Amino acid sequence: MDEFTLLATQVVPSERQLKWQQTEFYAFVHFGINTFTDREWGTGKENPKLFNPTELDADQWVSVFKSAGMRGLILTCKHHDGFCLWPSRYTSHSVASSDWRGGKGDVVREVSEACRRGGIKFGFYLSPWDRHEPTYGDSDAYNRFFLGQLRELLTSYGEIFSVWFDGACGEGPNGKRQVYDWEAYYRLIRELQPGAVISVCGPDVRWCGNEAGHCRASEWSVVPAVLREAERTAEKSQKVDDGTFARRINTADEDLGSRDAIQGVRDLVWYPAEVNTSIRPGWFYHAAEDDGVRTVDELLRIYYGSVGGNACLLLNVPPDRRGLIHEADAAVLHELGRVIRDTFATDLARHAKAVASHTLDSEHGIENIFDDNPDTYWCPPLGIEQPVIEVDLGQEVTFDRVVLCEHIRSGQRIENFTVAYRSGDDWVECYRGTVVGYKRICCLDRTNTRYVRVHITSSRGYPTLSRLGFYLEKR
Ligand code: FUL
């Protein structure tokens, strides 16, 4: 192992990053003045009276999201147009100036309380770019304003799991220039909500680099630290300089963490990816897009690629003008959730026994891969980078999904692996994978066998596995 790969094995997630990773799949909710003007980006000049949902019911949102298997919700409390979904003390451009609930309403309160009631996590999106606020561009004044709003959201709505900062700014070359005081924003969040991750323009969770639902085949959580700045700069690209040569690295690059990608990089961080995409063409609700809701098959593909590819999935589902999740979206999400629940309800390895070519000690025995405890795991001694595990499923079973999880508290180590099944006296390879990380869901053709072999063909120092499961998709 070269020195940079060794350095990479020493990088581990923070407690808040681990909790966030376990959230796996959660909803993004774009709702606001744009819902009522049929736009994607508002101008900031909209009349607040336009905001008037007729049947807003946050419990309906939560129940639809839970039926999909989502474990959290991130609400656009303020989008680029500056309209606030809560009665902020710092501006009148908010629900307080609308007629909704007689000007006494608070969408953030209703949604955060519905999340609590439903047992899912709540987080918020607060757009730094603000096209309404007059101080925007007067850097110090706007930073004070923004910190004030941030404090309101961080202190009035219970526990927050994610604060999502968007890097978008459409001011253009002749527009206003605002210098954000990111460090002050981060300090306030750490002080008031130490358990919250700060996502995208923040140090904890990395934007996957596209909004289309494209997932990398090899998603690394250990990446060069300069990527943390990429989203906060107009260029979205940063220079890595190892003293001998310099190259640019961008959040959208396909390879961010392989041995090649981290060669020469001493400053590495745990910066896991979140895939954010919308169930519809736009982020906000548009009646004209009711026929454009993504299909269950498409969403399943994205789910396997993201949640099953060492990332989290933040799926946007925008409420309509009634303030409800439209029937078309609700139906697709319900079926998506059913497939995921039914598929992973039965682990076909529950009577399995396994033998590993190498095991460190009795505490790290191979039986740990069959329990549901992410803190118990199997590993071989240091220096064993290519061990083999043979599984006897106890009887012939048919499966088409194989789940592997690393013990990521010990870092991300697996680089390549294969899965093979026994057919007569032969081993037939049925899957070839790269990284595992928090979770890898391998999608393969239906396979009928009693014996399976997982060969880790390359890893960093030694691999770990906290879970190995076999499932049959119930589509
Ligand atoms: C982008 C924004 O400009 C879009 O309106 C949307 O909020 C998306 C999630 O992020 O940068």
Atom of ligand 1 nearest to the CA of 30: 7
* pLDDT of amino acid 79: 98
- The distance between the two most distant Cα atoms of the chain, rounded to a whole number of Å, is 75
pLDDT in tens, 416-444: 999 999 999 999 999 999 999 999 999 99
30 CA → ligand 1 middle, Å = 9
Q: How many helices (H) and strands (E) does the chain have?
A: 11, 18
- The tokens describing 317, both together, are 């589902």
* pLDDT of amino acid 403: 98
The ranges assigned to domains in the chain are: 3-344, 353-471
* pLDDT of amino acid 348: 97
* pLDDT of amino acid 426: 96
> Residue with the nearest Cα to atom 2 of ligand 1?
168
Residue with tokens 């709003």: 149
Question: What distances in angstroms separate CA 275 from CA 212, 237, 305, 403, one per listed residue?
Answer: 9, 19, 9, 19
* pLDDT of amino acid 408: 98
- Probe target for ligand 1 pocket from 78, 80, 129, 166, with the most ligand atoms within 8 Å of CB: 166
Characterize 249-287 residue by residue with b for buried, 16 or more Cβ atoms within 10 angstroms of its Cβ, and e for exposed.
Answer: bebeeeebbeeebbebbeebbbbbbbbbbbbbebbbbbe
Is the distance from CB of 391 to CB of 354 less than 8 angstroms?
Answer: yes
* pLDDT of amino acid 68: 98
Angle 105-83-71 (CA atoms, 0-180°, nearest 5)?
70
Nearest residue to 7 (alpha-carbon basis) of 206, 231, 225, 226: 225
* pLDDT of amino acid 416: 98
- Probe target for ligand 1 pocket from 29, 83, 211, 251, with the most ligand atoms within 8 Å of CB: 211
239 CA → ligand 1 middle, Å = 25
For 3-344, which CATH superfamily applies?
Glycosidases (3.20.20.80)
110 CA → ligand 1 middle, Å = 23
Whether 3-344 shares its CATH topology with 353-471 is answered no
Mean pLDDT by 10 residues, the chain (475 residues): 96 98 98 98 98 98 98 98 98 98 98 99 98 98 98 98 96 94 98 98 96 96 94 82 79 95 95 98 98 98 98 98 98 98 96 97 98 96 98 97 98 98 96 98 97 98 98 97
- Probe target for ligand 1 pocket from 28, 83, 125, 283, with the most ligand atoms within 8 Å of CB: 283
pTM above 0.95, yes or no: yes
DSSP state of 104: T
Ligand 1: residues with CB < 6 A are: 40, 166, 168, 276, 283
Atom of ligand 1 nearest to the CA of 276: 9
Round to whole Å and give the CA distance between 360 and 30. 49
Say which CATH topology domain 353-471 has.
Answer: Jelly Rolls (2.60.120)
* pLDDT of amino acid 57: 99
